[in-house]
Amino acid sequence: MLEKADVKTIDKVVVRFSGDSGDGMQLAGNIFTNVSAGVGNQVSTFPDYPAEVRAPQGSLSGVSGFQVNLGIGVHTPGDKADVLIAMNPAALKQNVKHLKKGGVAIVDIDSFKESDLKKAKFETSDPYTELDLKVEVVEVPVTSMTKAALADSGLDNKSVLKCRNIFALGLVCWLFDRPLDAAIHHLHNKFAKKPAVFEANAKVIRAGYDYGANIHAGVSTYRIESEAVRPGVYTDINGNTAVAWGLILASEKAGRPLFLGSYPITPATDILHELAKRRDLGVKAIQMEDEIGGVCAAIGASFAGNIGVTSTSGPGLALKSEGIGLAVMAELPLVIIDVQRGGPSTGLPTKTEQTDLMQALYGRNGESPVVVVAPASPTDCFTMAFEAARIAIEHMTPVILLSDAFIGNGSSAWRVPDAEDFPRINPRYVPDGLRESWRPYLRDEDTLARYWAIPGTEGLAHRLGGLEKDYNTGALSIDPVNHEKMVYARREKVERVADDIPELEVIGCGDADTLLIGWGGTYGHLRTAAEELVKEGCKIDFAHFRYINPLPRNTHEVLSRYKTVICAELNTGQFADFLQSRNPGLQIKRINKIQGQPFLISEVVAGVKEILAK
């Protein structure tokens, strides 16, 4: 047993679970994250899935990873891991670059046989020397210890081997002083309908914990600091689940039923899965035959008085473009969720990018303006999904929510908010005083939003469609002057949404002449990079955009304060180009990455320094 003197107290630590895509790394990582959130740690995760459907077992292309940063002051999953759990040689080889020098690599030595090394394309029988490891390696017989723990379980060999990840989880719970009972509670919830499987995993996690407590490898245990938090109910939530829950709250606050018409596509499918569970809350979620069917069903539901929603990723957004144009012409409330991934075409389905921005802004025929918003973190997905639905309903317009694979699959500790923390949503129904004079495109004078006439309401019979309508009567019209008037009305309606969103907030020292900006899911990395630069003596402020179209009213005023504006984004510069088009004369420096991976904090810091040095 390790003495108390071997326990180190630290502010934060980064742990990376890695193994074959069938080794259960996501499950182990998720349970470890939930347990850590439950003891008061801030957490941020990054599940890193292989792009192949099912690569050969033990191969380099089949490695699956899950990284979590936990402690205090956590905004990202961390650049590099302090501790790596590698279940086979391929996992070690693929993840050496993600491990800090001086860190700890815990390997399942039972999986490092000659045949395993060959699958991972090692040229020698000494993988540590071949990789030139500058870390401490702890060899643990995970497979044989798992088999020993379950020798009398009655499970077949295949089922026993599926428990290896839970042995590793038990060892990591010991290493980081996590409460074992909490982890077992999560296992019980996971395998509630399979008592034999639960009992086996409960036995194995205890075996892993006990093994850690009894090894004499000189590895210290760690106690991670927690900070005082606001009392309440906390959970670990990923971005896709948060989107679904935010839409449900919007439905409650608007008093309108929620409808999702969608088609499965990585990495957005979990939104469909989550909403399909919520029939108890009146949610209608339908898997349609394709992406076009998804958006058209949502438009029909919106016409009928529902909050119409459709979810997708980049390729699906392209297919939905004509349907979104129909919603623009009909001026119906519609929420389109795009969980961005690497492209073009099928591209990198499990990897993250921010490359759909221009498609969201302009990817439709004709003048088809829509509102575009982007959540900044997994937990912010809840708030921005609510906002997307609120804006769509109160301004009678389609709204595109640009999430991405990083925050959609990633998770953070989240305090479940009180419903009273969010405003009531006010559908723009036809006022009683206008019933007799109402026409389909009669508008609110302040917002230019047309009124929502729910079919079946006496006296409000009407038709909508994709052909242009007369501004006054709502009848079909091909008059050129009327068409131009309607085009400008639809555009002005979207621009007036700027009166109903927060101004851009600047975080910084107040006397900086450099501003670092970003948008969407890069928030944590950019904010942390700015904080590190300030610690190094660099005078730099930071601002992050969650509202893209329209931009916050004070955007030009904020950007014009600074001598140097630097935009960091996971594309070739789409947001920088957009800002420059809206702010003539503004020249924005760029930090860009298109590798299917989120920024490293160190990459942003180095990029800013290089720009300022020039």
How far is residue 304's CA from residue 308's CA, in Å, rounded to a whole number? 9
Assign 22 a pLDDT band (cuts: 50, 70, 90).
confident
The arithmetic mean of pLDDT across residues 350-367, rounded, is 97
447-479 residue pLDDT tens: 999 999 999 999 999 999 999 999 999 999 999
Determine the pLDDT at residue 335.
98
> Given a cut of 80, is residue 6 above it in pLDDT?
no
C-beta atoms surrounding 495 within 10 Å: 14
Domain range 506-613, CATH architecture: 3-Layer(aba) Sandwich (3.40)
Determine the pLDDT at residue 7.
67
C-beta atoms surrounding 411 within 10 Å: 30
How far is residue 75's CA from residue 45's CA, in Å, rounded to a whole number? 10
Domains 235-421 and 506-613 share a fold: yes
> Given a cut of 70, is residue 557 above it in pLDDT?
yes
Per CATH, domain 235-421 is 3.40.50.970 = yes
My answer on whether omega of the bond before 127 falls inside 30° of 0, hence cis, is no
Q: Strands 81-86, 99-108: parallel, antiparallel or unpaired by DSSP?
A: parallel
Exposure pattern of 307-329 as b/e (b: 16+ CB <10 Å)?
Answer: bbbbbbbbbbbbbbbebbbbbbb
Q: What percent of the chain has pLDDT over 90?
A: 88
Query: CATH number of the domain at 4-224, please?
Result: 3.40.920.10
CA-to-CA dists, residue 467 to 141, 324, 332, 397, 483, angstroms: 69, 14, 14, 17, 10
Determine the pLDDT at residue 563.
96
* Nearest-5° Cα angle at 192, 191 to 198: 50
Contact residues for 214 (Cβ-Cβ < 8 A; gap 6+): 1
Determine the pLDDT at residue 510.
79
Contact residues for 81 (Cβ-Cβ < 8 A; gap 6+): 14, 15, 16, 67, 95, 98, 99, 100, 103
> Given a cut of 90, is residue 56 above it in pLDDT?
no
Determine the pLDDT at residue 2.
39
How far is residue 269's CA from residue 401's CA, in Å, rounded to a whole number? 15
Determine the pLDDT at residue 295.
98
511-551 residue pLDDT tens: 899 999 999 999 999 999 999 999 999 999 999 999 999 99
Determine the pLDDT at residue 216.
53
Give yes or no for a contact between 22 and 57, defined as CB atoms under 8 angstroms apart: yes
> Given a cut of 50, is residue 3 above it in pLDDT?
no
386-422 residue pLDDT tens: 999 999 999 999 999 999 999 999 999 999 999 999 9
pTM for the full model? 0.93
> Given a cut of 70, is residue 205 above it in pLDDT?
yes
CA-to-CA dists, residue 166 to 6, 184, 293, 379, angstroms: 24, 10, 41, 27
> Given a cut of 90, is residue 215 above it in pLDDT?
no
The arithmetic mean of pLDDT across residues 583-594, rounded, is 96
The arithmetic mean of pLDDT across residues 491-515, rounded, is 95
76-111 residue pLDDT tens: 999 999 999 999 999 999 999 999 999 999 999 999
Sequence spans of domains, the chain: 4-224, 235-421, 506-613
CA-to-CA dists, residue 203 to 72, 139, 382, 524, angstroms: 32, 21, 37, 38
In 215-353, where does DSSP find H-type helix?
239-254, 269-276, 291-303, 314-319, 321-330
Determine the pLDDT at residue 242.
98
How far is residue 467's CA from residue 50's CA, in Å, rounded to a whole number? 45
Give yes or no for a contact between 292 and 319, defined as CB atoms under 8 angstroms apart: yes
Determine the pLDDT at residue 1.
35
Determine the pLDDT at residue 52.
66
Determine the pLDDT at residue 220.
62
How far is residue 237's CA from residue 422's CA, in Å, rounded to a whole number? 19
| Helix, strand or coil, per DSSP, at residue 402 | strand
Q: Which residue has the higher pLDDT, 255 or 53?
A: 255
Q: Which residue has the higher pLDDT, 222 or 271?
A: 271
In this structure, what token pair is assigned to residue 590? 């760029």
Determine the pLDDT at residue 235.
85
The arithmetic mean of pLDDT across residues 336-359, rounded, is 96
The arithmetic mean of pLDDT across residues 330-358, rounded, is 97
How far is residue 135's CA from residue 222's CA, in Å, rounded to a whole number? 17
In this structure, what token pair is assigned to residue 320? 């939905």
